[in-house]
Amino acid sequence: MDAKIVIDGLKKDYNGLPVVDGVSLSIADGEFVAIVGPSGCGKSTLMKMIAGFVQPDSGSVALDGERITRPTKKAIVISQHGSVFPWLTVQENLMFGLAGDNQADKAALADHYAEMVGLKGFEKSYPHELSGGMLKRAEIARALVVKPEVLYMDEPFSALDALMNLRMRNELLRVLEEERHTVVLITHDVEEALHLADRIMVLSPRPTRIQAEFIVNEPHPRKVSSPAMQQMKEAILAQLGL
């Protein structure tokens, strides 16, 4: 399978302190790759470089063979901090990034994606009227409605409680069954990575580099509690020093 994203020797220092130290990785078209690592190891810095928001000191990132030097319309970031506009309704938030002048078509497309993530009936609601889980669904729909080829997800569910985190993972997998995207997930949650990803890359402590790779062959829906998955979880945790 051809590489969609090629990360080659990324390095980044801040004030003389090495943060990312030579990360290289190829990601196939349609692949779901999770990157896990200890807190403070440089995961978010790595994601910002991959997405084009921060330039590396050396190394490069290419998407479809083109070097990334700035954010691209082919990809969108879903972060832990949220990105919906509080003064717009769910429908208006989803319409915001859509091109064209036909408001009816844009509204219909926005409503389709709201329904896809389970927000049918809440299209006219404002963010403050939604629960935390519903707000995260709106954010995912807002990312998907512009039809990106790549989803960059930086600990998107970390602020949710354990039950809502699990529900949102299942919601994401359901959406990905309908629409094919290449996904890069940054997380510190090993079970989240095992539940979602095709491949898991384990980062070292800062200055971070890839120290291990795990291929997850279990089909969806997965039971993270299965013996094989628990064995892989233990192996990943051992790589993380736990």
Q: Reduce the DSSP state of residue 201 to 3 states and report it.
A: strand
- pLDDT(56) > 90: yes
Q: For residue 77, what pLDDT is reported?
A: 86
Give me the mean pLDDT over the 190-202 stretch.
95
Give me the mean pLDDT over the 27-44 stretch.
92
**What are the DSSP E strand ranges found in 117-223?**
150-154, 182-187, 199-203, 210-215
Give me the mean pLDDT over the 128-157 stretch.
84
Give me the mean pLDDT over the 140-156 stretch.
85
Mean pLDDT across the chain:
89
Burial 162-178 (b: 16+ CB within 10 A, else e): eebbbbbbebbeebbee
Q: For residue 78, what pLDDT is reported?
A: 83
Give me the mean pLDDT over the 40-44 stretch.
87
Q: Is 139 exposed, middle or buried (0-12, 13-18, 19+ CB in 10 A)?
A: buried
Give me the mean pLDDT over the 219-231 stretch.
91
Contacts 24+ apart (CB under 8 A), 233-242: 233/190, 233/191, 233/194, 236/36, 236/190, 236/193, 236/194, 236/200, 236/202, 236/212, 237/190, 239/202, 239/211, 239/212, 240/36, 240/37, 240/38, 240/190, 240/202, 241/38
- pLDDT(170) > 70: yes
- Determine contact, residues 139/78, Cβ cutoff 8 Å: yes
- pLDDT(164) > 80: no
Q: For residue 221, what pLDDT is reported?
A: 85
Least confident of 51-60, 143-152, 207-216: 143-152
User: For residue range 78-124, what is the model confidence (pLDDT) as tens digits?
Assistant: 877 667 888 989 898 888 877 777 888 888 888 888 887 788 889 99
Q: For residue 118, what pLDDT is reported?
A: 81
Nearest to 221 by CA among 181, 156, 166: 166
- pLDDT(44) > 90: no
What percentage of the chain reaches a pLDDT higher than 70? 99
What percentage of the chain reaches a pLDDT higher than 90? 49
Identity of the residue numbered 180: R
Band of pLDDT at residue 54, cut at 50, 70 and 90? very high
Give me the mean pLDDT over the 31-52 stretch.
92
- Determine contact, residues 182/29, Cβ cutoff 8 Å: yes
In which element (H, E) is residue 24 found?
A: strand 17-28
DSSP 208: B
- pLDDT(178) > 70: yes
Q: For residue 1, what pLDDT is reported?
A: 58
